A and B are shown apart, each in its own frame.
Chain A
Amino acid sequence: MYLKDMQTGQRGLVVRINKGHAAERRLFEIGLVPGASVEVVSRHPFHGPLLLQVGNTRIAVGQRIAEAVEVEMKSSTGNTP
């Protein structure tokens, strides 16, 4: 499944990023790498950006990126990072 399919509050592990090198590199720098744990903090309506919590960083990504990041859902229990 992809980042775009996740609901607010859900957590997952990044599996793969299917977007050109440039985007991949940028995401890598900001901490969104395969293996990283992400939580969807909120989703803006009308295909707006997604707010993610990656480690201690809060980042916003556009829809195009949310469509390209493949994730594996974690069981939705537990609220501690």
Chain B
Amino acid sequence: MTIVIIGNPNVGKSLVLNRLTGSNFIVSNYPGTSLEISEATLKLPNHEIKIIDTPGVYSIFTMGQDQQVIKDLLQKEKPELILNVLDATNLERNLLLSFELKELGIPMIVLVNQIDRARRSGMQIQRDRLENILGAPVVFFSALTGEGLMELMQMLEKNIDETAWPSSIESFFEQGKKPECVFQCRECSIGSESCLSSEDFRRAEMARYTAQLVEHKQSETQRYWIDKAEKLLDRPLTGTILLLALVFLGFYILLKFIELSEGPISALLNPLNLIIENFVANLLPPGIVNTVLSKAIPEGLIIPFTIIMPAMLMVSFLMAILEDSGFLPRYSVALERVGRLFGVSGQAVIPLSLGFGCRTPAVLATRLMPTIAERFIVITILSIVIPCAATIGVMAAVISTFHASLMVLVITMLTVLMVLGFIISHLMPREEVFVYELPPLRIPTNKNVLKKVRLRFAGFFTEVLPLLLVMNIIIRALMESGFFKLFHSMEGFTRALFGIPADAFVAVLVTMFQRYLAPLVLLNINLTPREATIAIAMISLSLPCLPVMVMTVREIGFKGLIKILIIGFITSFIVGAALNIILPG
């Protein structure tokens, strides 16, 4: 048996799936977290049920990317049951989708999620009335407290008998489901899919009417502090100040944490490294392999553990708090004006700030952007300008080693951000349609925050650490073998153009593989503060790392990536040359 979960964005579909099957999908408090289909199996005493989670949609009769995903899925999987997840605090809007789903004719169970929150705010929902109107069983559910879980499982077990695939559904799959347009729609002869039909309005009317009928509100006097915080945050002046103060606090905590943890970690690591060095040196016969490995392995452990590890840990934690509390979408609103300067709408704040954690999922999150053009802009800015947690960590190491100028670097990055956004946005056509739903504020649960930190931080051991270690060995080997000396003939060229030695330019080229590897090359050469500043700027503002490239191809295609790579190269070289001219020698 196959069940498909369908519901509005941000109603807790993934959380329901996690509760049901004990799986571990990422859950956040902003619309658009599950942009992909995830699947899990529920084992009941006598059956196995395949449960498929889908991206949140407000309507299935629209022709968007997500709607197509759901359409294809329904056609392919022919599910026996739809589990329609609703947000109890927001019935009117959620019911619209329920009425659409009802018309498909597939058996349905309606899950009213977050019932605990609705009750807390003094709202009661009349279950039997809702069941009558929808013609489907309704379960009150709280993914938080577990309410309704047993009831749902029992219901699934009872509903297990295979039902025939409704024939009425075929018309839904046919593209030509022509809406009978209402009078406002002048172009309905074109058969535009986005055209609103009288059927759409009828369903909206039904949803509103039903919501009024089944919702029973108690007193409005329950005003707890979250309400107050929400009011404060949603006021332009206080909100913007508060949100900016939070960002500042976040960065302060991040830097302080890295600074404080470096000492103890080094103290633990240094004796260990000595042991490793001796062990490797004694294990292998003397020669170049011995020299390379005994030096490279301990070296390769220092930066990942002392800097990248604390940075990734803290960024994961801060991002989890930001996501779960519902603050993140509020940044979109506060920064909408600023975003428009760069040619993106406020939604861009979400992928861009995710990029500070890791840019790979951030590229995925650009699906929140309303248009393809805006997606391209955001992915480009992400790839070229935004430093991820790992990058920040390594950059910090290089900056302090060579006493490079942090101020010059920050100003350079901001300038590039402005100029790049301005140029790209004026090259691309766009329509400024900013509509965004603001989820209610929530206090993040320890469990969810911990889970996110664990999931994101796992990348340190599976990706960052092995890659850095391997690359460090390769770079060490190249240095010992004298390979980099081959580039010395370029010295005149790099000195004249960018004011950096050829070795440092090699580091810039290494960014092709993984941006946070480049500084490893830098750390092994002698640079003046000026040279280091230019080299770091060129590295910080260059190409996306390999995983981001792969993701970019998946999301916007190969052509998009090529464009971004070209822009990246040009940006990096212009930044180098410009700084070489501007910075005093």
Contact = CB atoms under 8 A, between A and B. Distances in A.
Given A26-B433, A60-B336, A49 B89 contact: no
A29 B56 CA distance: 12
A58 B440 contact: yes
Nearest to A41: B234
Interface in B47-63: 57-59, 62
Interface stretch (B195-203, B289-297, B298-306, B372-380): B195-203
Contacts, number: 124
A49 B204 CA distance: 25
Interface in A27-61: 27-36, 41-49, 51, 54-61
Contact of B196 (A25, A32, A49, A65): A25
B433 A22 contact: yes
B90 interface: yes
A64 interface: yes
B185 interface: yes
B220 interface: yes
Contact of A60 (B185, B432, B434): B434
A61 B370 CA distance: 13
B333 to A, nearest CB: 4
Interface string B9-42: 0000000000000000000000000000000000
- The CB with the most chain B CB atoms within 10 A, among A33, A45, A51, A56, is that of A56
Contact of A64 (B59, B90, B239, B433): B433
Contacts of B192: 21
B435 interface: yes
A1 interface: no
A63 to B, nearest CB: 8
Nearest to B184: A16
B62 to A, nearest CB: 6
A80 interface: yes
B58 A30 contact: yes
B438 A62 contact: no
Contacts of B187: 21
A30 B434 CA distance: 12
Contacts of A65: 433-435
Contacts of A21: 185, 187, 192, 194-196
The DSSP consensus for interface residues of chain A is: mixed
Nearest to A19: B433
A57 B90 contact: yes
B92 A44 contact: no
A24 interface: yes
B93 interface: yes
B226 to A, nearest CB: 13
A44 B234 contact: no
A51 B240 CA distance: 13
Given A51-B438, A57-B437, A62 B336 contact: yes
Interface string B326-370: 000100111011000000011000000000000000000000001
A46 B236 CA distance: 11
Given A33-B201, A42-B234, A58-B234, A49 B333 contact: yes
B91 interface: yes
B563 interface: no
A53 to B, nearest CB: 10
Given A16-B184, A45-B236, A51-B234, A30 B204 contact: no
Given A43-B236, A44-B333, A46-B337, A29 B433 contact: no
B235 interface: yes
Nearest to B337: A48
A80 B93 contact: no
A76 to B, nearest CB: 18
A28 B204 contact: yes
Contacts of A57: 90, 93, 437
A42 to B, nearest CB: 5
Given A22-B194, A58-B437, A31 B92 contact: yes
Given A35-B205, A62-B432, 15 more contacts: A22-B194, A25-B59, A31-B93, A42-B235, A44-B236, A48-B333, A48-B337, A57-B90, A60-B434, A60-B435, A60-B436, A60-B437, A61-B434, A61-B435, A65-B433
Interface of B: 57-59, 62, 89-93, 96, 184-185, 187, 192, 194-196, 200-201, 204-205, 208, 211, 220, 234-236, 239-240, 329, 332-334, 336-337, 345-346, 370, 431-438, 440
6 contacts: A41-B234, A44-B334, A47-B337, A49-B346, A61-B435, A80-B220
